[in-house]
Amino acid sequence: MSNNSERIIIFDTTLRDGEQCPGATLNIEEKLAIAKQLSRLGVDIIEAGFAFASPGDFEAVNQIARTVGTENGPVICSLARARRDDIKAAAEAIAPAAKGRIHTFIATSDIHLQYKLRKTRQEVLATTEEMVAYAKTFTDDIEFSPEDAGRSDPEFLYQVLEKAIAAGATTVNIPDTVGYTTPSEFGAIIKGIKDNVPNIDQAIISVHGHNDLGLAVANFLEAVKNGARQLECTINGIGERAGNAALEELVMALYVRKQYFNPFLGCAADSEKPLTNIDTKQIYKTSRLVSNLTGLLVQPNKAIVGTNAFAHESGIHQDGVLKNKRTYEIMDAQSIGLTDNLIVLGKHSGRNAFRTRLQELGYEITETELNKAFLRFKDVADKKKEISDWDLEAIVNDEIQQAPDLFRLELVQVSSGSNAKPTATVTLYTPDGEELTDAAIGTGPVDAVYKAINRVVNVPNKLIEFSVQSVTAGIDAIGEVTIRLKHEDKIFSGRSANTDIIVASAQAYVNALNRLYAYLLKEQKQEQVTVSS
Ligand code: KIV
Ligand code: ZN
């Protein structure tokens, strides 16, 4: 690949930059499930984490490298600051991958140099050269990022990039770290790099950007027009603060407006050759998986993957679409994998039909997960006559979600209504296997359930988000509950799906509390180690 390439490389950083956003913390099994789906989606590179950050991060990158980083799979990348111990950890973590990349970075803007790094420009130049060369001793595939490039002095940026490439960087990534630039400015930065870095032909130009002003995707598309060939993005645009450029928006812009972009990539305007390797039909499923596992809901009007993205409410639009879809639709819902909501299974469907449909939907689940999911399916099918693909997805995602099994919800019972005091009784098993029952009165049934659970679990927390969404239409629909709670400055999410939304609410809360409890146990262990060592 080169900067004159006719194809755009998609670098997914959902598991690194995406996971950096508050409350998105995923465990290893969940990261693996996402990495496998990203591979099915067809991303070229997965930035699997920041190996040096913690043993858990190291383990996640390492396992993804081992299982997803196959010969025909994506490149597996770990982030590393421009420091020896960071780079060494990244190299060790990606080692099992057939194709591994180290992504090292150092800030280049004056404000970062002065206040954060307390380094001179000369020192940053020297560190860049030394650390890229050090990373190169582990693998050939080295990406270098001058952090806060968007606010860096262009002349200094050119010097740093030249040094990085001379030391062995094969990709130079230009981050708009604080989401400050506008599309024409960002395009000009890329053009400036192409015109002024003498050895730029030896590296791919990549872009990375945050969405603080809502301009990240527009900035990237302008960068493509000016020579960028790698886009760093996340599913649903999750990430630090306002998030990163959204993968689905970039890919679909390049897909729907291919004729417009073709000439900028040196292709004939009417060329049919895809501009990315992404299987667009996997987009919707990937979006749902990431939202379910991170607990970060997708806003209904979100481009491409929001629930309203393909809905037509106004009479004039509906009339037009019925006459000809293209009157108000620039893309087909099926192109992102939104199938018609097929009714496929019912209470008499057997295990084989269940397994086959899941395979058709692209789920690869283990025998144990299948057994668990099938039990759930039977339970739901008893209450809901027709089970659609979307119901199946909700059931399976519930099983893939791996909240630690510490407290286990055994029973939830509520009594509420007009002129009644909402009251809840819950029974939970503690991590030691003790059965505890408690009851509480609340302002509503969910509040009563949460108060009763709190009396058993007894970990201080504040509920900061509670949302119920129905998976399909109809009175017997499955309800999906997503919650986020806060303990000190940490946020934990939980999700559950059930035909009974009180049960789903209780289970989602227990899932979030289990994550919080696991975190506290880990902190306690670390404290003990520090005290005794
Ligand atoms: O936003 C940023 O600058 C980053 C770099 C580490 C690439 O995430
Ligand atoms: Zn970033």
Residue among 140, 138, 65 nearest 98 (CA): 65
Please identify, by atom number, the ligand 1 atom nearest to the C-alpha of residue 240.
1
Please name the amino acid found at residue 4: N
Residue 291: per-residue pLDDT: 92
Question: At the top level of CATH, which class does the domain 408-530 belong to?
Answer: alpha beta
The number of residues in the chain equals: 533
Q: Is the pLDDT of residue 532 over 60?
A: no
Q: Given pLDDT bands bounded at 50, 70 and 90, which one contains residue 159?
A: very high
User: Is the pLDDT higher at 8 or at 349?
Assistant: 8
| Domain 9-294 shares a fold with domain 408-530 | no
Q: What is the pLDDT of residue 254?
A: 98
Q: Is the pLDDT of residue 11 over 50?
A: yes
CA torsion angle for 215, 221, 227, 230 (degrees, to 10)? 90
- CATH code for the structural domain at 9-294: 3.20.20.70
- If you take atom 2 of ligand 1, which residue's CA is the nearest one? 177
Q: Ligand 1 within 6 A of 208 CB? A: yes
Residues 283-306: b if buried by 16+ CB within 10 A, e if exposed: bbbbbbbbbbbbbbbbeeebebbe
Instruction: Tell me the pTM.
Output: 0.88
Q: How far is the CA of 309 from the centre of ligand 1 (A)?
A: 29
Q: Does residue 236's CB lie within 6 angstroms of at least one atom of ligand 1?
A: no
- At 251-304, the pLDDT tens digits run 999 999 999 999 999 999 999 999 999 999 999 999 999 998 898 999 989 999
Å from CA of 66 to ligand 1 middle:
25
Amino acid in the structure at residue 523: E
pLDDT of residue 533: 47
- Give one DSSP letter per residue of 438-472, joined into a string: EEEE-SSHHHHHHHHHHHHH----EEEEEEEEESS
Ligand 1 atom 3: residue of nearest CA = 177
Q: What would the pLDDT profile of 431-482 be if each residue is shown by its tens digit?
A: 999 999 999 999 999 999 999 999 999 999 999 989 998 877 777 788 889 9
Pocket test residue of 177, 186, 211 for ligand 1, highest count of atoms within 8 A of CB: 177
Answer yes or no: are the C-beta atoms of 480 and 497 closer than 8 Å: yes
The answer to whether 200 and 189 are in contact (CB under 8 A) is no
Q: State the distance from the centre of ligand 2 to the C-alpha of 88, rounded, in angstroms.
A: 21
Q: If you average pLDDT over residues 329-340, what whole number do you get?
A: 87
How does residue 119 score in pLDDT terms, banded at 50, 70 and 90? very high
pLDDT at position 368 is 85
Report domain extents, the chain.
9-294, 306-337, 351-400, 408-530
Binding site membership of 17 for ligand 1 (Cβ less than 6 Å): yes
The stretch 132-153 carries a mean pLDDT of: 98
Residues 6+ apart with CB under 8 A from 227: 3, 190, 191, 193, 194, 205
Ligand nearest to the CA of 147: 1
